[in-house]
Structure 1
Amino acid sequence: MLDQRRKRIFWIAYMLERSVARTVGRPCAVADWEIDVELPANINDSLETDDEIRDALVAAEANPHQITSLTAAIHIIKMQQLESRMSRTVCRVDKPLSSIGDPKIAKLRQALEEWKANIPQVHGQDASPYTSTIYHMAQYHKALLLLFLPFLPSLTPAYPEFRLVIYSAGQICQLYKRHHENQSYISYSLLALHATFVAGLVMVYCFCQDPSVFDVQFSSDIRACSTLLYTISERWTAARKVRSAFESLVAATIETYDPAAPRNNNASNINSIDTTSQTAAGPVPPPSMGANLDTDVWDSFESVLEDYQINSETWMQDSIFLAMDAFPPDSFYVGG
């Protein structure tokens, strides 16, 4: 019926708007609490006549967990709603990060784990690249980064979420790589490029904070990130600067790492940054969420990237666009 078609169109627009807003670090056009449109029904979108749709709605009410061509899409819409809650909680500008209590973060994390546990298993004729478990798990790890990235400058290796962030960043690269290898095409969207680049930056940053994170899996994750950026840049000229920026960081940090070399606290050298979390009394307690640490790593990043300047507050959004020269110069806007 027309009502179902209108709901599908609305939620498609919702997903696109939310994805772009998070990527560029801008507020959403319409707040979630201003939306009263119900999710589309879990029925096949191939149904056209009112009688077919009416019968399918009755069947869906009797069996809400049935798998249809819209099941995966509805699940992704729920992820977008959850990510909106995350952004509203941890990316707001009217309150400091230190004011966000651990219970709020724990509640969002629990909601994310519940979403993961309910990933639909779509098979047969309804299966597509965007209904696969690989794709859904990539969205799960992207959401984890969204939740914890604002706190990254305050996390030391002693904090449990430090390793979690590294793992999720690596999984984003690995899952995107598997997703593209299993399909006959590769998505060259800005959203895919942004997710890969941010994941790569996270891994390099965490390595600079604690080189001991380097192992076989970490090396594989870095290679996966490089492979994806290279593949995308070969088909999208604007992405080549992003690839070059990432490769410059890897060359100045990970590729020059010598596990046998002594480590020190000379933060002026990006290869010798050491935030050792051990003292004579044992591990240093993790800092409070939102606490401020030094910005030596960011300063070192800027010295390597040169023209691609980034900072500890807006790097997740701004760095990729600066690297791509995506925004025209200020003079472009003079005279309308």
Structure 2
Amino acid sequence: MEAKNQTLTKRLREARRARATDDAAPDAVNGNQDQDMAQASDDDDHHGSDIAKNNEVANQVVSLSLNAGGQRQYLGSASGAILANLLGLQGQAGQAGVDSDAEPLFRRFTTTRGQINGVLEPVQDIPHEQLARSLLAAYLSHDHLCYPYLHPGKLINTVAAMYSEEHYYETHNAEAFTMDMIFAIATAQVHKFSWQVLPDAETHYERAMSKLGRVLETGGLVSLQSIMLLCQYRMLSVSYSTSASLWHLLGMAARLGLELGLHREAVYTIPEGISASAREELREEVEIKRRCFWSLFGMDRVVSNTLGRPMAINLDDIDTEYPLVEEDRGAISTASPSVEDILDNPEWPANTAVFVHITWHRVITGKILSSLHNPPKSRMPDAQTCANIREQLKQELDQWKSGVASLQLVDPNTGKVKDKSTFKSPEWYRLLYSNCILMLHRPTNSPHDHPLTTAALEQVYHCAQESIQSYCFLYKERRINYTWITLHAVFIVGLSYIYALRTHFQNKRRQFRALAEGQPATTEGQLSVDPTITQIVADTRACSTVLVALSERWNTARECHEVFGRLSDAVLADSSDFYISSTSNQRANSQNAPTDSSFKPNEPLLFDDFSTEQLSAPQIPTEVDNTYQDCYEELQELFGSYYGDNALLRPPFDWNFEL
């Protein structure tokens, strides 16, 4: 390591000297003033080179240290670890897989307009009033449904004041920051509204960042809401770290929320003996705090679930009640509100029930994480306890699914609908249910994990199939959320579908081989009906379409749909071989000449640390196994050095134990 550091230091020193010499070379026609400017430029380059040197050496040391430790970035089993590196940091800091301590938390990874020498400066003017009103309406009709931690009435009043009061934008930093972030978040979702020729979302973001320091000095709830706006934008942004840095940023917000006591119901108590007007004002403030806490809770669950990391907010520490559904007093109750409908009614929108139901789902996913995926191996429950936990959580999930019928959602059969929000679509709630079932049966780090039973395999197959259909429907209806979280979820669903088919066809081949050898055969671990090739083609094509559409927004994530395409081709080859072999066997059996030559393994086994159940059955590699082995290098590039620590992909957990 010391030799490597010395080599890097020498190279950087030579590069710095060469560049300084070029910059300092005087032109024959330059005067003293030009020489002074050259000297100043040389000093700046010298300082910049020192910083680059320090960052490079530090990054190399960090990279070597973390790689020697066995993993570059922490991820747990719940994430699947499928897109961790794909969606990691860009630039020098991203090469090490972690944020550089020498860089600001909110730093842009490329220098663009509005940023000089790492200092964010205001860029362009605020949008014209009509566009600002439309962006705010778009935010309130979609993003605000899932994370209603800002008072809609105050937002509407702020927009009105920005364009009616002189110097309001310049003198109200917190309000201006909030509106700029809302403009950025809404602009990132323009695909839902068929808008064109809009300013880039980062234009609004950079304008907001120029005020962040002054806003954070305010402290309290305002600072918490500001950090949550940053988190919400980073879930949509394609230019910033959306893994490690977002997780750390959410951790900061969670600590601030806990410091404010938002996890305790006592904070929301309204004192007696105050005037009616003061009581109403305090009631609105209390409700905003309550929504703010549960919005933060939801963000924490979503990001922790995707990354498979520990959650920042422990459910056992919370006694805060959900927002009261009776608080829905707004006049906005139509399915497709216009801009005027939203902005002319500053009361609470009638969507609290939707938010509470989404929050309940986040609570369930948190329970799955804490019970099945996040415990260390030494404290993992045994197989029977895991089965009981899955059954209990399945019952709660069924109750949640039944409650969807009581929500005011948009009927997709009513014709053209203006409301493009995912959170008002019944299909999105069916998607959440199916994904939760897949999460329940996802392999864990438990040494007691067993191969899927027939009942579990049926659930994985059908839920994966339903999820693919739901994602495809939302994409066609322009309702899908174009976020890296959605991309990760679709990829995991696609892998679950491939895994179910691979398990089914492999166990079928085991059954036929046992029958051919005159041994007892079992139908365990098989689907009740053999999937047809036509159905497999339709499902994999639908999943690939959504993956391509989502991954186009991330330059570093485009390889995921190629990997899925190769696995899809492999499972199609397996299904074709199965039907051909099945026909051949039937013909051979009719001639009283059974044969098993078509089932002999083509490659030697690479692993021998299987469970007793796995050893008791003949090991028959499938085309999916072989293709998976061919994708090993690509998967290592996607996952990094923690590939071997992922429960979904490790050999002992029945995904690639035949390789």
- Scaled by the length of structure 1, the TM-score of the pair is 0.72
Q: What whole-Å deviation, never above 9, does each CA across 1:185-221 have from its counterpart, x for those lacking one?
A: 5422121111110111111122222237432444322
Contact 1:97 1:151 in 2 (8 A): no
Match of 1:136 among 429, 435, 438: 429
Contact 2:471 2:480 in 1 (8 A): no
Contact 1:204 1:254 in 2 (8 A): no
**Which residue is equivalent to 2:495?**
201
CA distance in 2, matches of 1:238, 1:253: 26
CA distance in 1, matches of 2:613, 2:556: 34
Amino acid at match of 1:40: P
Amino acid at match of 1:224: A
CA distance in 1, matches of 2:437, 2:558: 27
Aligned pairs (5 A) from 1:72-91? 72-91=354-373
Contact 1:174 1:224 in 2 (8 A): yes
CA distance in 2, matches of 1:315, 1:230: 26
Q: CA RMSD in A?
A: 3.5
Aligned pairs (5 A) from 1:116-265? 116-119=401-404, 120-123=406-409, 128-150=421-443, 154-156=450-452, 158-183=453-478, 186-211=480-505, 213-215=530-532, 216-255=534-573, 257-258=575-576, 259-261=579-581, 264=599
Structure 1 pair 265–114 and aligned structure 2 pair: CA distance change class (3 A): farther
Greater shift in the superposed pair: 292-301 or 131-140? 292-301
The reply on whether 1:5 has 2:288 as its aligned counterpart is yes
Q: What is the CA distance between 1:130 and its match in structure 2?
A: 0.8
CA distance in 1, matches of 2:468, 2:488: 11
Q: What whole-Å deviation, never above 9, does each CA across 1:300-329 have from its counterpart, x for those lacking one?
A: 4641213214768726599xxxxxxxxxxx
Amino acid at match of 2:450: S
Q: What is the CA distance between 1:222 and its match in structure 2?
A: 1.6
**Which residue is equivalent to 2:6?**
none
CA distance in 2, matches of 1:5, 1:197: 35
Q: What is the CA distance between 1:102 and its match in structure 2?
A: 3.1
Q: What is the CA distance between 1:155 and its match in structure 2?
A: 2.9
The reply on whether 1:109 has 2:394 as its aligned counterpart is yes
CA distance in 2, matches of 1:251, 1:269: 22
Contact 2:536 2:572 in 1 (8 A): no
Which secondary structure does the structure 2 equivalent of 1:100 belong to?
A: helix
Which secondary structure does the structure 1 equivalent of 2:552 belong to?
A: helix
Contact 1:45 1:70 in 2 (8 A): no
The reply on whether 1:22 has 2:348 as its aligned counterpart is no
CA distance in 2, matches of 1:110, 1:291: 31
Contact 1:170 1:218 in 2 (8 A): no
Q: What percentage of aligned pairs have identical amino acids? A: 22
CA distance in 1, matches of 2:557, 2:329: 35
CA distance in 1, matches of 2:631, 2:431: 28
CA distance in 2, matches of 1:317, 1:236: 24
Q: Structure 1: 5+ residue runs without aligned partners? A: 57-66, 271-289, 319-336
**Which residue is equivalent to 2:629?**
303
CA distance in 1, matches of 2:329, 2:552: 36
CA distance in 2, matches of 1:291, 1:135: 40
**Which residue is equivalent to 2:197?**
none
Amino acid at match of 1:100: T
Contact 2:323 2:356 in 1 (8 A): yes
Match of 1:44 among 292, 317, 328: 328
Say how many residue pairs are matched: 281
Greater shift in the superposed pair: 291-300 or 93-102? 291-300
CA distance in 1, matches of 2:439, 2:556: 25
**Which residue is equivalent to 1:284?**
none
**Which residue is equivalent to 1:285?**
none
The reply on whether 1:314 has 2:314 as its aligned counterpart is no
Q: Structure 2: 5+ residue runs without aligned partners? A: 1-283, 332-345, 411-417, 509-529, 583-597, 606-610, 651-659
Match of 2:383 among 98, 101, 121: 98
CA distance in 1, matches of 2:497, 2:367: 25
Amino acid at match of 1:31: N
Contact 1:112 1:140 in 2 (8 A): yes
CA distance in 2, matches of 1:227, 1:127: 20
Structure 1 pair 127–188 and aligned structure 2 pair: CA distance change class (3 A): closer
Which secondary structure does the structure 2 equivalent of 1:200 belong to?
A: helix
- Scaled by the length of structure 2, the TM-score of the pair is 0.39
Which secondary structure does the structure 1 equivalent of 2:351 belong to?
A: coil
Which secondary structure does the structure 1 equivalent of 2:548 belong to?
A: helix
Q: What whole-Å deviation, never above 9, does each CA across 1:141-199 have from its counterpart, x for those lacking one?
A: 1111111112697334x52110110111111111011112123x542212111111011
Structure 1 pair 45–139 and aligned structure 2 pair: CA distance change class (3 A): farther
Structure 1 pair 233–22 and aligned structure 2 pair: CA distance change class (3 A): same
CA distance in 2, matches of 1:306, 1:148: 24
Which secondary structure does the structure 1 equivalent of 2:580 belong to?
A: coil
Structure 1 pair 139–186 and aligned structure 2 pair: CA distance change class (3 A): closer
Contact 2:444 2:647 in 1 (8 A): no
CA distance in 2, matches of 1:104, 1:7: 30
Q: What is the CA distance between 1:34 and its match in structure 2?
A: 0.7
**Rg larger for:** 2
Structure 1 pair 267–154 and aligned structure 2 pair: CA distance change class (3 A): farther
